[in-house]
Amino acid sequence: MRSAPSAARKYWLMKTEPDVFSLQDLTARPGQRELWDGVRNYQARNFMTNDMKVGDLVLFYHSNADPSGVAGIAEIIEPALPDPSAWDKNSEYFDPKSTPEQPRWFCVAVGKPQLFKNFISLDELRTHAALQEMLVLKRGQRLSIQPVTPQEFDYVCALGMKS
DNA sequence: GCCAACGTTGGC
DNA sequence: GCCAACGTTGGC
């Protein structure tokens, strides 16, 4: 069956520091599922609450790494829910302004990790004309969740999976 | 660990 | 609602 345009799958790039949580870590999680908690930026939050849908696909980006780059892909497997780390006093993501009654921060669940055969470094991304508009390549772009076009997603995937 | 870029906070 | 100070991100 054909999906309505409003239900069209969207594509994202999500940054994580692999020392903290890597794509390999996601693969090792029970059910290969993890909450994408700790997002404390309104623009990134709004992407999760307003635009992300279950089934959207994600370029899984390792930042602050050696080298940084796209390690593989994952999928949004649960829609946004209040981020429980915000009201956990022991969490580094604790935010007293967020409460269970009035949550300020939200998180989606990611799963279905697929590690690329080829890690696509930031340097390599820069060499491809088709990828020049990717936000992650823009100077000073710090958003931890970024939209990518279907074309960019497919292109990076092809690079990552080719032998 | 440096530092440019940029988001957030808070005094006014 | 301006904007300086401060904090964070993330490549290098």
CA contacts within 13 A on the Cβ side of A57: 15
Contact criterion met (CB below 8 Å) for A115 and A72: yes
The domain limits of chain A are: 11-161
- pLDDT classification of A4: cutoffs 50, 70, 90: low
CA atoms of A75 and A71, how far apart (whole Å):
14
How confident is the model at residue A24, as a pLDDT?
Answer: 96
pLDDT at residue A120 tops 90: yes
Average model confidence (pLDDT) across chain A: 93
- Determine the nucleotide nearest to A139 by Cα–C1' distance: B5
pTM over 0.85: yes
Does residue A42 reach within 7 angstroms of strand B, measured from its CB?
Answer: yes
Does residue A88 reach within 7 angstroms of strand C, measured from its CB?
Answer: no
The CATH number of the domain covering residues in A11-161: 3.10.590.10
Q: Sign (positive/negative) of CA torsion A59, A68, A39, A26?
A: positive
Does residue A29 reach within 7 angstroms of strand B, measured from its CB?
Answer: no
Proportion of chain A above pLDDT 90, given as a percent: 80
How confident is the model at residue A110, as a pLDDT?
Answer: 97
**H or E segment at A18?**
none
- Phi-psi region for residue A112, left (φ > 0), alpha (ψ -120 to 50) or beta? left
pLDDT tens digits along A59-102: 999 999 999 999 999 999 999 999 999 988 888 888 888 888 88
CA distances, A86 to each of A21, A70, A112, A144, A147 (Å): 18, 28, 25, 17, 24
pLDDT tens digits along A132-153: 999 999 988 899 999 999 999 9
